[in-house]
């Protein structure tokens, strides 16, 4: 299958280009205090990624995103940067954009956050 403009793939489903996308990196650490009163940082994970995407889509893609939200985790491929990660959808916001469009139940703005597991 030709990629065309698609550069995200989740569980072998090509996702159309998002209107906007940000990638955040976070270091996970715990801070403990020693008997001497100094801080001890215990790093549990470096550069945990969060991909936040906003899509303008039809009701068909809305259904696809809803079914993806029910998965505990899946493989996220970001083909633009050659990144493959196990991720889950940690947050999704669905907002109607238009009530009527040809052969659909409306147009939607969907904001999805993929969090690396």
Query: pLDDT tens for residues 1-45?
Result: 333 455 788 998 888 888 888 889 998 888 888 888 888 888 888
State mean pLDDT over 57-66. Answer: 89
Query: Is 33 or 87 the better-scoring residue by pLDDT?
Result: 87
- Nearest partner of 47 among 25, 28, 69, judged by Cα: 25
State mean pLDDT over 83-93. Answer: 89
Tell me which of 3.40.50.720, 3.90.950.10, 3.30.160.20, 2.40.30.200 is the CATH number of domain 8-116.
2.40.30.200
As a whole number of angstroms, the distance between CA 56 and CA 78 comes to 19
As a whole number of angstroms, the distance between CA 105 and CA 101 comes to 7
Name the strand (E) or helix (H) holding 53: strand 39-58
Query: Is 4 or 73 the better-scoring residue by pLDDT?
Result: 73
Phi, psi of 34 (to 5 degrees): -85, 170
Phi, psi of 35 (to 5 degrees): -65, -25
Residues contacting 52, CB < 8 A, separation 6+: 21, 22, 23, 24, 111, 112, 113, 114
Query: Is 50 or 44 the better-scoring residue by pLDDT?
Result: 50
| Domain ranges across the chain | 8-116
Using DSSP's 3-state secondary structure scheme, residue 62 falls into: helix
Phi, psi of 43 (to 5 degrees): -85, 120
What is the value of pTM for the model shown?
0.77
């Amino acid at each position: 299958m030709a990629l065309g403009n698609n550069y995200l793939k989740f569980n072998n489903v090509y996702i159309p280009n998002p209107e906007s996308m940000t990638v955040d990196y976070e270091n996970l650490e715990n801070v403990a205090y020693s008997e001497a009163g100094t801080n001890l940082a215990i790093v549990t994970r470096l550069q945990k990624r969060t991909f936040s995407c906003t899509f303008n889509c039809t009701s068909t893609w809305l259904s696809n995103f809803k079914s993806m939200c029910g998965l505990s985790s899946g493989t996220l491929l970001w083909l633009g940067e050659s990144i493959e990660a196990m991720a889950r959808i940690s947050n999704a916001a669905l907002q109607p954009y238009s009530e009527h469009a040809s052969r659909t139940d409306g147009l939607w703005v969907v904001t999805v956050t993929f969090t690396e597991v």
